[in-house]
Amino acid sequence: MLDPLHRIVKEVNAASDLQEVLQIIVQQVKQTIEVDVCSVYLTDFERRSHVLMATDGLRLEAVGKVSLPYHRGLIGLVCERAEPVNVADAPSHNRYLFANETGETQYKGFLGVPIIQNPKVLGVLVVRQIEMRTFADNEVTFLFTLAAQLAGAITHAQASGQLVTSEETAPPKRFLQGRPGSPGVAFGTTVVVYPPADLDAVPDKKVQDPDVEEEEFRTAVAAVIQDLMALEDRFEDSLPAEDRALFDAWLMMLGSDSLIGDTVQRIHQGHWAPGALRQTIEEHAKVFDAMEDVYLRERASDVRDLGRRILMHLQQSVESQVEYPQGTILVGDEVSAMQLAEVPKDRLAGIVSARGASFSHVAILARALDIPAVMGMSDLPVTRMDDRFIILDGYVGRVYVSPAPSVLQEYRRLAEEDRELSEELQVNKGLPCETTDGVGVPLYLNTGLVSEMNTTGIEESAGVGLYRTELPFMVRDSFPGESVQVANYRKVLRTLHPRPVIIRTLDIGGDKPLPYFPVEEQNPFLGWRGIRISLDHPEIFLTQVRAMLRAAIGLNNLRLLLPMISNVDEVDDALALIQRAHDELTEEGYDVSMPKIGVMIEVPAAVYQVEGLARRVDFLSVGTNDLTQYLLAVDRNNTHVADIYSDLHPAVLRALIQIVAGAKTYHREVSVCGEMAGNPATAVLLLGMGVESLSMNSGSLLRVKWVIRSVSKARAKALLQAALRCERASEVKALLVNALDDMGLGGLIRAGR
């Protein structure tokens, strides 16, 4: 059933609204598994009933009118158990409920699967058969998969106000739920961004001038025709005639009235050219998808390939025309750092990404830029989100689409309180970062580009606690040479002089690939990354270390940091290479000095070897993002397990305590440079553990300073002891939230006071 499943899922994703989704599901399911009836019941939580919302086989006049009791009948049993109910003879079941008005009393075979969303049962997808029938396992899983597709569409419909099952007024606070990415509240207009040449990701947009859109479309088609003719000529001598026939087939499609005419017709119905093309290509491809003949069915991929070629040419002209209104909220299936950089900074208000989690790269970048963000919104109907007014709550990970006036008014009030709080934060500028009992806690800056460092970051930080060297590598098309790197590092060292700057050696791999140095692995976070790549490619490592040492000449504020250390051999090998780079430069006449060297503790193995590592280096820097990920076996970019990821997990807290204790054996300083350091609540716990310094994005500096200046070291230790008595991360979080509320600082971690 894989082929029909893929076909139905594509149709569902292309549907314009929930009602169309429901009709596609009931019609296609009935046809695919050959049943007499397919219906969808949605749960009305206010009236505690299940409403028939779509059917193919029952009485159509019952749709929207028939409501079944919440905990009665087989539908109620499916919801109660939150699992499939498969009954060969439904009327004989003790939970069977007769519903004469639907006309289903004649049916015996029954299969109902729950429509579940985190982990609420939103409704039931049901199939019925006149004869007795026990449905096969593959039929059950088929319905289960489609029910998951339905869950996302229902959630969006509820959030945007499309779906009101009750006759009463729907509750005003409907929203889409994701993961907090970057704190703050934003109001603005959505601009959907999508990867190039990806037809499925093209959003729907309306146009004012169809004639201009048609001209651009025909220009793109003409360009593709030229490309194909050139390719055909190029392969004339090297490909047999039957293989070159594909080019002729493509050219025939482009010359047909059907493909071109259907797209132009959609354009003149008000659709922009890429969206009209997407709909036309999918419509044509579906014709081939449905064919019995395997060869003809494969032609669907040729149609889609042709669509991508046209789209590539269309995008070349569209890219330069993208308009970012004031208050732009970027929305995408997976918003990238490059897409973020294309928006003028004064116009970017927020980010909503269907993929990613609170600790993914874009979320971290959003926090650095002090831009509210919501991540991991897997139910987001990206293609239907362009040019919508939304409210974004980055504190709790919510998005309100076309919000009700009462919701807008409430968030305007909360935003005003946020603004007032930001003004109060300015009072702490220039004041020492120390506890109420006089313990100093230096706050450092995380950055990857000098241009990221705003005035507040430069003035308030005690230096740079983490300079990510991979960002300057990622924006190039080849490895930067030694002189280019010297200029980059010298700039940041001079900007912060005489304060220390901790520069991390190249940490590529995982979620940070280089376009010119691809690392293809099934599990990149457990693979070839960080120091492992550097030691396997000493020429890259030595060039970078040489550049760092040369950049620090006369400034002497460089500290060097080694990432992804998992054993002492890696440290010994890296130290030997650093010494070699130093000796080479000295022989060449450069007056270089050996900097302090530290290692990142972000792998569980390093926690249990912390004393051996501390004996070899000058300081330790804890990367709590990766350490949490590896301790909990949770990919921090995976939305499916985002609920499990928490740096407040008791195991994480105990690992941090062990790191601090091990470092003290050799009197080594411990800093935390992960997101835990920039959170005002968790910063208090780190203070209680004895962490000497914290490093964070510039947007967090004043917030963390305020909380540290409001608490004593003794109270921080007491809070830590209370946290260690908790068995759940949620309990630790509640403890810290209450503590900040008691200090009158709850507004540091939520919208409003």
From residue 206, give the alpha-carbon distance in Å to each of 157, 200, 265, 276, 556.
21, 17, 14, 10, 58
Q: Return the percent helix, strand and coil in the chain, to nearest 5.
A: 50, 15, 35
Report CA torsion sign: 661, 662, 667, 673: negative
Q: What tokens does 542 get?
A: 């030595």
Contact 4, 286 (CB under 8 A): no
DSSP string, 116-169: EETTEEEEEEEEEESS--PPPHHHHHHHHHHHHHHHHHHHHHHHHT----SSSP
Contact 377, 356 (CB under 8 A): no
The alpha-carbon radius of gyration of the chain (Å, integer) is: 30
- Max CA pair span of the chain: 95
CA angle 488, 490, 494 (to 5 degrees): 125
Q: Specify the residue for token string 């900007």.
A: 495
Residues in the chain: 753
Contact 349, 328 (CB under 8 A): yes
Q: What tokens does 68 get?
A: 């079944």
Candidate list 271, 361, 582, 649, residue with the active-site label: 361
From residue 396, give the alpha-carbon distance in Å to each of 180, 182, 376, 388, 553.
5, 9, 12, 21, 46
φ, ψ of residue 585 to 5 degrees: the values are -65, -35
Q: Rounded CA gap, 44 and 171, in Å?
A: 12
Q: Rounded CA gap, 700 and 678, in Å?
A: 5
- Hey, is 563 helix, strand or coil? coil
- Give the 3-state DSSP-derived string for 648-692, with helices as H, strands as E and coil as C: CCHHHHHHHHHHHHHHHCCCCEEEECCHHHHCHHHHHHHHHHCCC
End-to-end CA gap in the chain? 53
Q: Specify the residue for token string 């006759």.
A: 167
Q: Environment class of residue 423 by beta-carbon count within 10 Å: exposed (0-12), middle (13-18) or buried (19+)?
A: exposed
- Is 673 an active-site residue? yes
Q: Rounded CA gap, 641 and 635, in Å?
A: 7
- Is 726 an active-site residue? no
H-assigned helices in 497-567: 531-536, 538-551
Contact 640, 690 (CB under 8 A): no
Contact 579, 520 (CB under 8 A): no
Q: Rounded CA gap, 631 and 656, in Å?
A: 11
- Hey, is 106 helix, strand or coil? coil
What is the dihedral angle through the alpha carbons of 614, 616, 617, 620, rounded to the nearest 10 degrees?
Answer: -20
CA angle 452, 455, 458 (to 5 degrees): 80
Please choose, from the candidates 319, 314, 313, 214, the residue with its C-alpha nearest in 3D space to the C-alpha of residue 268: 214
Q: Specify the residue for token string 């890296």.
A: 574
Report CA torsion sign: 238, 243, 246, 249: positive
Contact 147, 115 (CB under 8 A): yes
Q: Which of the residues are catalytic?
A: 361, 673
